Protein backbone atom coordinates (compact mmCIF):
# COMPACT_ATOMS: atom_id res chain seq x y z
CA UNK A 1 0.00 0.00 0.00
CA UNK A 2 1.24 3.48 -0.83
CA UNK A 3 2.23 5.70 2.09
CA UNK A 4 1.69 9.39 2.82
CA UNK A 5 5.45 9.92 2.60
CA UNK A 6 5.52 8.43 -0.91
CA UNK A 7 2.69 10.71 -2.00
CA UNK A 8 4.41 13.84 -0.66
CA UNK A 9 7.70 12.74 -2.23
CA UNK A 10 6.28 12.26 -5.70
CA UNK A 11 4.36 15.55 -5.50
CA UNK A 12 7.39 17.51 -4.25
CA UNK A 13 8.28 18.39 -7.85
CA UNK A 14 4.85 19.99 -8.43
CA UNK A 15 5.31 23.76 -8.36
CA UNK A 16 2.64 26.25 -7.50
CA UNK A 17 2.60 29.09 -10.02
CA UNK A 18 1.51 31.69 -7.51
CA UNK A 19 4.58 31.42 -5.25
CA UNK A 20 7.03 29.62 -7.59
CA UNK A 21 7.73 27.04 -4.88
CA UNK A 22 7.01 23.37 -4.38
CA UNK A 23 3.38 22.83 -3.38
CA UNK A 24 4.53 20.32 -0.77
CA UNK A 25 7.02 22.77 0.71
CA UNK A 26 4.30 25.41 0.91
CA UNK A 27 1.92 22.95 2.59
CA UNK A 28 -0.68 23.14 -0.17
CA UNK A 29 -1.20 19.35 -0.24
CA UNK A 30 -3.58 18.67 2.65
CA UNK A 31 -5.90 16.04 4.14
CA UNK A 32 -4.21 12.99 2.62
CA UNK A 33 -6.34 9.91 3.30
CA UNK A 34 -5.35 6.36 2.30
CA UNK A 35 -7.87 3.53 2.55
CA UNK A 36 -6.95 0.22 0.93
CA UNK A 37 -6.41 1.15 -2.74
CA UNK A 38 -8.11 4.56 -2.54
CA UNK A 39 -6.31 7.89 -2.06
CA UNK A 40 -7.90 11.27 -1.41
CA UNK A 41 -6.29 14.66 -0.87
CA UNK A 42 -6.99 18.37 -0.92
CA UNK A 43 -5.06 20.92 -2.98
CA UNK A 44 -5.18 24.51 -1.71
CA UNK A 45 -5.23 26.95 -4.63
CA UNK A 46 -3.06 30.06 -4.34
CA UNK A 47 -4.77 31.39 -7.46
CA UNK A 48 -8.57 31.05 -7.17
CA UNK A 49 -8.85 31.41 -10.97
CA UNK A 50 -6.38 28.60 -11.73
CA UNK A 51 -7.31 25.95 -14.30
CA UNK A 52 -8.08 23.06 -11.95
CA UNK A 53 -8.43 20.62 -14.85
CA UNK A 54 -4.76 21.13 -15.72
CA UNK A 55 -3.74 20.87 -12.03
CA UNK A 56 -5.78 17.67 -11.72
CA UNK A 57 -4.19 16.15 -14.82
CA UNK A 58 -0.64 16.87 -13.58
CA UNK A 59 -1.34 15.60 -10.05
CA UNK A 60 -2.93 12.41 -11.35
CA UNK A 61 -0.01 11.82 -13.71
CA UNK A 62 2.48 12.12 -10.84
CA UNK A 63 0.45 9.82 -8.57
CA UNK A 64 0.13 7.17 -11.28
CA UNK A 65 3.93 6.81 -11.21
CA UNK A 66 3.64 5.28 -7.70
CA UNK A 67 0.64 3.14 -8.52
CA UNK A 68 -2.17 5.46 -7.40
CA UNK A 69 -5.01 5.33 -9.91
CA UNK A 70 -8.21 7.39 -9.88
CA UNK A 71 -7.35 9.50 -6.79
CA UNK A 72 -10.02 11.75 -5.35
CA UNK A 73 -8.60 15.29 -5.52
CA UNK A 74 -10.46 18.21 -4.00
CA UNK A 75 -9.62 21.85 -4.69
CA UNK A 76 -10.34 24.82 -2.48
CA UNK A 77 -9.14 28.43 -2.57
CA UNK A 78 -6.52 29.64 -0.12
CA UNK A 79 -7.82 31.77 2.73
CA UNK A 80 -6.35 35.21 3.47
CA UNK A 81 -4.94 33.86 6.72
CA UNK A 82 -3.16 31.00 4.91
CA UNK A 83 -1.79 33.38 2.29
CA UNK A 84 -0.47 35.80 4.92
CA UNK A 85 1.19 32.91 6.77
CA UNK A 86 3.01 31.73 3.62
CA UNK A 87 4.10 35.25 2.69
CA UNK A 88 5.40 35.81 6.23
CA UNK A 89 7.33 32.54 6.09
CA UNK A 90 8.90 33.41 2.73
CA UNK A 91 9.81 36.88 3.96
CA UNK A 92 11.57 35.39 6.95
CA UNK A 93 10.59 38.42 9.01
CA UNK A 94 12.60 40.83 6.83
CA UNK A 95 9.66 42.68 5.34
CA UNK A 96 10.37 41.42 1.81
CA UNK A 97 10.80 37.98 0.25
CA UNK A 98 14.21 36.38 0.50
CA UNK A 99 15.99 36.40 -2.85
CA UNK A 100 16.96 32.74 -2.63
CA UNK A 101 13.40 31.74 -1.77
CA UNK A 102 11.46 33.14 -4.69
CA UNK A 103 13.91 34.38 -7.30
CA UNK A 104 14.07 32.40 -10.56
CA UNK A 105 17.37 31.74 -12.30
CA UNK A 106 18.93 35.15 -12.65
CA UNK A 107 20.60 37.98 -10.74
CA UNK A 108 23.99 36.41 -11.43
CA UNK A 109 27.40 38.03 -11.64
CA UNK A 110 28.17 40.41 -14.48
CA UNK A 111 28.95 38.53 -17.69
CA UNK A 112 26.54 35.69 -16.90
CA UNK A 113 23.69 34.79 -19.26
CA UNK A 114 21.40 35.63 -16.36
CA UNK A 115 22.89 38.96 -15.31
CA UNK A 116 20.48 41.88 -15.33
CA UNK A 117 22.10 43.38 -18.43
CA UNK A 118 22.29 40.14 -20.43
CA UNK A 119 20.75 40.27 -23.91
CA UNK A 120 20.31 36.49 -24.17
CA UNK A 121 16.86 35.42 -25.35
CA UNK A 122 15.48 32.13 -23.99
CA UNK A 123 13.36 29.98 -26.29
CA UNK A 124 11.81 26.70 -25.15
CA UNK A 125 10.55 24.21 -27.72
CA UNK A 126 7.59 22.24 -26.36
CA UNK A 127 5.09 19.62 -27.45
CA UNK A 128 2.15 17.87 -25.88
CA UNK A 129 3.36 14.36 -26.68
CA UNK A 130 6.41 12.51 -27.94
CA UNK A 131 6.98 11.42 -31.50
CA UNK A 132 6.14 14.71 -33.20
CA UNK A 133 9.75 15.62 -34.03
CA UNK A 134 10.18 18.31 -31.36
CA UNK A 135 13.90 17.60 -30.93
CA UNK A 136 14.43 17.59 -34.70
CA UNK A 137 12.81 21.02 -34.88
CA UNK A 138 14.90 22.22 -31.95
CA UNK A 139 18.31 21.24 -33.36
CA UNK A 140 17.50 22.56 -36.82
CA UNK A 141 16.20 25.90 -35.54
CA UNK A 142 19.35 26.21 -33.39
CA UNK A 143 21.64 25.41 -36.34
CA UNK A 144 19.69 27.74 -38.63
CA UNK A 145 20.03 30.61 -36.14
CA UNK A 146 23.78 29.96 -36.00
CA UNK A 147 23.93 29.96 -39.82
CA UNK A 148 22.28 33.38 -39.73
CA UNK A 149 25.18 34.63 -37.62
CA UNK A 150 23.68 34.47 -34.13
CA UNK A 151 25.49 33.10 -31.07
CA UNK A 152 23.42 30.10 -30.06
CA UNK A 153 23.32 27.68 -27.12
CA UNK A 154 21.13 24.60 -26.76
CA UNK A 155 20.15 22.73 -23.59
CA UNK A 156 18.76 19.24 -24.08
CA UNK A 157 16.30 19.51 -21.19
CA UNK A 158 14.56 16.27 -22.15
CA UNK A 159 16.54 14.54 -19.41
CA UNK A 160 14.69 11.22 -19.65
CA UNK A 161 14.67 11.17 -23.46
CA UNK A 162 17.91 13.00 -24.30
CA UNK A 163 18.77 12.74 -28.00
CA UNK A 164 20.39 16.00 -29.10
CA UNK A 165 24.04 14.83 -29.07
CA UNK A 166 23.22 11.86 -31.29
CA UNK A 167 20.97 13.90 -33.58
CA UNK A 168 23.73 16.46 -34.12
CA UNK A 169 26.48 13.87 -34.47
CA UNK A 170 28.43 15.19 -31.48
CA UNK A 171 31.28 12.88 -30.48
CA UNK A 172 33.21 15.11 -28.04
CA UNK A 173 31.40 16.07 -24.84
CA UNK A 174 31.91 19.11 -22.60
CA UNK A 175 35.38 19.86 -21.24
CA UNK A 176 36.37 21.11 -17.76
CA UNK A 177 37.25 24.80 -17.40
CA UNK A 178 38.14 25.66 -13.81
CA UNK A 179 35.07 24.99 -11.71
CA UNK A 180 32.81 25.06 -14.77
CA UNK A 181 32.36 23.16 -18.02
CA UNK A 182 32.80 24.31 -21.59
CA UNK A 183 29.80 23.01 -23.56
CA UNK A 184 30.23 20.80 -26.59
CA UNK A 185 29.92 22.61 -29.91
CA UNK A 186 28.88 21.64 -33.42
CA UNK A 187 27.50 23.63 -36.38
CA UNK A 188 28.24 26.77 -34.35
CA UNK A 189 25.85 25.71 -31.56
CA UNK A 190 26.98 25.20 -27.96
CA UNK A 191 25.27 22.13 -26.51
CA UNK A 192 24.67 20.61 -23.06
CA UNK A 193 22.77 17.36 -22.54
CA UNK A 194 22.28 14.61 -20.00
CA UNK A 195 23.51 12.34 -22.79
CA UNK A 196 27.08 13.48 -22.11
CA UNK A 197 26.96 12.09 -18.57
CA UNK A 198 25.25 8.73 -19.11
CA UNK A 199 27.26 5.72 -20.22
CA UNK A 200 26.11 3.41 -23.01
CA UNK A 201 22.66 5.00 -23.35
CA UNK A 202 21.65 3.90 -19.85
CA UNK A 203 18.20 4.99 -18.60
CA UNK A 204 17.87 7.90 -16.18
CA UNK A 205 15.79 6.82 -13.18
CA UNK A 206 15.26 10.03 -11.23
CA UNK A 207 12.38 11.84 -9.61
CA UNK A 208 11.40 15.48 -10.01
CA UNK A 209 13.73 17.22 -7.50
CA UNK A 210 16.85 15.57 -8.98
CA UNK A 211 15.79 16.59 -12.47
CA UNK A 212 15.46 20.20 -11.35
CA UNK A 213 18.95 20.14 -9.82
CA UNK A 214 20.44 18.83 -13.05
CA UNK A 215 18.73 21.56 -15.02
CA UNK A 216 20.03 24.16 -12.56
CA UNK A 217 23.57 22.84 -13.08
CA UNK A 218 23.18 23.27 -16.85
CA UNK A 219 22.41 26.93 -16.24
CA UNK A 220 24.88 27.75 -13.49
CA UNK A 221 27.86 25.43 -13.96
CA UNK A 222 28.46 25.82 -17.70
CA UNK A 223 30.62 28.53 -19.25
CA UNK A 224 28.27 29.57 -22.03
CA UNK A 225 29.99 32.83 -22.92
CA UNK A 226 27.91 35.50 -24.64
CA UNK A 227 24.85 34.17 -26.43
CA UNK A 228 22.08 35.75 -28.45
CA UNK A 229 19.75 32.76 -28.04
CA UNK A 230 19.59 29.84 -25.63
CA UNK A 231 17.17 27.13 -26.79
CA UNK A 232 15.74 24.47 -24.50
CA UNK A 233 14.46 21.19 -25.86
CA UNK A 234 11.74 20.41 -23.29
CA UNK A 235 10.42 16.92 -22.61
CA UNK A 236 6.94 16.35 -24.03
CA UNK A 237 3.96 17.12 -21.85
CA UNK A 238 3.65 19.23 -18.72
CA UNK A 239 5.73 17.35 -16.16
CA UNK A 240 8.48 18.26 -13.69
CA UNK A 241 11.10 19.63 -16.08
CA UNK A 242 8.61 21.80 -17.95
CA UNK A 243 7.41 23.15 -14.61
CA UNK A 244 10.99 23.83 -13.51
CA UNK A 245 11.72 25.76 -16.70
CA UNK A 246 8.60 27.84 -16.24
CA UNK A 247 9.69 28.63 -12.67
CA UNK A 248 13.36 29.31 -13.44
CA UNK A 249 12.86 31.39 -16.59
CA UNK A 250 9.71 33.49 -16.30
CA UNK A 251 10.80 35.54 -19.33
CA UNK A 252 11.23 32.50 -21.56
CA UNK A 253 9.31 32.30 -24.83
CA UNK A 254 7.98 29.11 -26.39
CA UNK A 255 7.63 27.42 -29.75
CA UNK A 256 4.97 24.69 -29.82
CA UNK A 257 5.50 21.71 -32.14
CA UNK A 258 2.74 19.44 -33.43
CA UNK A 259 1.92 17.26 -36.41
CA UNK A 260 -1.13 17.79 -38.65
CA UNK A 261 -2.97 14.98 -36.89
CA UNK A 262 -5.94 16.21 -34.88
CA UNK A 263 -5.02 14.24 -31.75
CA UNK A 264 -1.42 15.53 -31.73
CA UNK A 265 -2.69 19.09 -32.02
CA UNK A 266 -5.27 18.48 -29.29
CA UNK A 267 -2.57 17.23 -26.89
CA UNK A 268 -0.16 20.03 -27.87
CA UNK A 269 -2.78 22.53 -26.73
CA UNK A 270 -2.03 21.44 -23.14
CA UNK A 271 1.60 22.51 -23.47
CA UNK A 272 0.41 25.80 -24.92
CA UNK A 273 -2.09 26.29 -22.11
CA UNK A 274 0.66 25.70 -19.56
CA UNK A 275 2.84 28.33 -21.24
CA UNK A 276 0.02 30.86 -21.16
CA UNK A 277 -0.88 30.04 -17.57
CA UNK A 278 2.69 30.71 -16.44
CA UNK A 279 3.00 33.93 -18.47
CA UNK A 280 5.33 32.51 -21.11
CA UNK A 281 4.80 34.10 -24.50
CA UNK A 282 4.08 31.70 -27.34
CA UNK A 283 6.20 32.69 -30.33
CA UNK A 284 4.27 30.45 -32.69
CA UNK A 285 3.42 26.94 -33.83
CA UNK A 286 5.47 24.63 -36.05
CA UNK A 287 3.64 21.86 -37.89
CA UNK A 288 6.16 19.06 -38.39
CA UNK A 289 5.65 16.10 -40.76
CA UNK A 290 3.13 18.29 -42.54
CA UNK A 291 3.34 16.38 -45.83
CA UNK A 292 5.48 14.04 -47.90
CA UNK A 293 6.72 14.64 -51.43
CA UNK A 294 6.91 11.16 -52.92
CA UNK A 295 9.31 9.95 -55.62
CA UNK A 296 6.85 11.06 -58.31
CA UNK A 297 6.88 14.63 -57.00
CA UNK A 298 3.35 14.33 -55.63
CA UNK A 299 2.36 15.74 -52.24
CA UNK A 300 0.86 13.26 -49.79
CA UNK A 301 -0.68 14.30 -46.48
CA UNK A 302 0.31 11.23 -44.50
CA UNK A 303 -0.93 12.47 -41.11
CA UNK A 304 -3.90 14.48 -42.33
CA UNK A 305 -4.19 18.24 -42.61
CA UNK A 306 -5.07 21.26 -40.50
CA UNK A 307 -3.77 20.32 -37.05
CA UNK A 308 -1.12 23.06 -36.93
CA UNK A 309 -3.50 25.79 -38.11
CA UNK A 310 -6.16 24.71 -35.64
CA UNK A 311 -3.67 24.71 -32.77
CA UNK A 312 -2.34 28.15 -33.75
CA UNK A 313 -5.88 29.50 -33.81
CA UNK A 314 -6.64 28.00 -30.41
CA UNK A 315 -3.50 29.52 -28.88
CA UNK A 316 -3.99 32.86 -30.69
CA UNK A 317 -0.55 32.37 -32.24
CA UNK A 318 0.97 32.24 -35.72
CA UNK A 319 1.59 29.06 -37.70
CA UNK A 320 5.24 29.78 -38.47
CA UNK A 321 6.19 26.79 -40.61
CA UNK A 322 5.00 23.53 -42.10
CA UNK A 323 7.95 21.14 -42.32
CA UNK A 324 7.62 18.06 -44.56
CA UNK A 325 8.76 14.53 -43.84
CA UNK A 326 12.31 13.98 -45.02
CA UNK A 327 15.78 12.81 -44.20
CA UNK A 328 19.10 14.70 -44.47
CA UNK A 329 20.74 13.49 -47.68
CA UNK A 330 24.39 13.62 -46.57
CA UNK A 331 26.26 10.31 -46.26
CA UNK A 332 27.93 9.25 -42.96
CA UNK A 333 31.35 9.89 -44.53
CA UNK A 334 30.64 13.59 -45.11
CA UNK A 335 32.35 15.86 -42.52
CA UNK A 336 29.09 17.80 -42.07
CA UNK A 337 27.02 14.64 -41.61
CA UNK A 338 24.65 14.28 -38.69
CA UNK A 339 21.54 12.09 -38.44
CA UNK A 340 19.07 14.98 -38.09
CA UNK A 341 20.58 18.31 -39.22
CA UNK A 342 19.58 19.35 -42.74
CA UNK A 343 22.15 21.01 -45.03
CA UNK A 344 21.54 24.74 -45.47
CA UNK A 345 21.05 24.38 -49.24
CA UNK A 346 18.51 21.54 -49.03
CA UNK A 347 14.78 22.16 -49.40
CA UNK A 348 14.06 21.44 -45.74
CA UNK A 349 17.20 23.30 -44.67
CA UNK A 350 15.89 26.42 -46.43
CA UNK A 351 12.54 26.02 -44.65
CA UNK A 352 14.37 25.98 -41.31
CA UNK A 353 16.36 29.08 -42.27
CA UNK A 354 13.11 30.87 -43.04
CA UNK A 355 11.65 29.66 -39.74
CA UNK A 356 14.73 30.88 -37.84
CA UNK A 357 14.50 34.28 -39.50
CA UNK A 358 10.85 34.54 -38.50
CA UNK A 359 11.56 33.46 -34.90
CA UNK A 360 14.41 36.01 -34.62
CA UNK A 361 12.14 38.75 -35.99
CA UNK A 362 9.44 37.97 -33.44
CA UNK A 363 11.72 37.55 -30.42
CA UNK A 364 13.96 40.47 -31.33
Per-residue pLDDT tens over the stretch 127-161:
888 889 999 999 999 999 999 999 999 999 877 77
Band (236; pLDDT cuts 50, 70, 90):
confident
Measured between alpha carbons, how far is 35 from 32 in angstroms, rounded to an integer? Answer: 10
Please give the CATH superfamily to which domain 4-92 belongs: Fe-S cluster assembly (FSCA) (3.30.300.130)
Work out the burial of residue 185: count CB atoms within 10 Å of its CB; fewer than 13 is exposed, 13-18 middle, 19 or more buried: middle
Q: Tell me if 4-92 shares its fold with 121-363.
A: no
Residue 320 pLDDT: 95
Rg of the chain over all Cα atoms, to the nearest angstrom? 21
Band (240; pLDDT cuts 50, 70, 90):
low
Mean pLDDT of the chain: 81
Task: Give the pTM.
Answer: 0.67
The CATH number corresponding to 121-363 among 3.90.550.10, 3.10.450.50, 3.30.70.360, 3.40.50.300 equals 3.40.50.300
Residues 89-103 pLDDT 10s: 777 643 333 333 333
| Domain boundaries, given as residue ranges, for the chain | 4-92, 121-363
- Which has more pLDDT, 332 or 358? 358
Residue 292 φ then ψ, to 5° = -130, 130
> Can you list the positions of beta strands (E) in the chain?
15-16, 21-22, 29-35, 38-45, 72-77, 121-126, 152-156, 175-177, 180-182, 184-186, 189-193, 229-233, 253-258, 281-288, 292-293, 299-300, 319-323
Band (107; pLDDT cuts 50, 70, 90):
very low
* Three-state DSSP class for residue 221: coil
Band (238; pLDDT cuts 50, 70, 90):
low
Amino acid sequence: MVTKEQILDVLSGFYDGGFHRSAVELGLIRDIMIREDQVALTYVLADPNADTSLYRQELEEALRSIGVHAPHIRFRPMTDYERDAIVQRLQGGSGKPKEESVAPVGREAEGSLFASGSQTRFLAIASGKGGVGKSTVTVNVAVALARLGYRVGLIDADIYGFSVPDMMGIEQGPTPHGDKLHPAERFGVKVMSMGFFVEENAPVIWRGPMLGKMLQSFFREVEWGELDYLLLDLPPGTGDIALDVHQMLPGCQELIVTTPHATAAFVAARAGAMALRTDHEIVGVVENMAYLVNRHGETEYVFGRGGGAKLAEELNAELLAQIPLGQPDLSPGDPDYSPSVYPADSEIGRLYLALAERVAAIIG
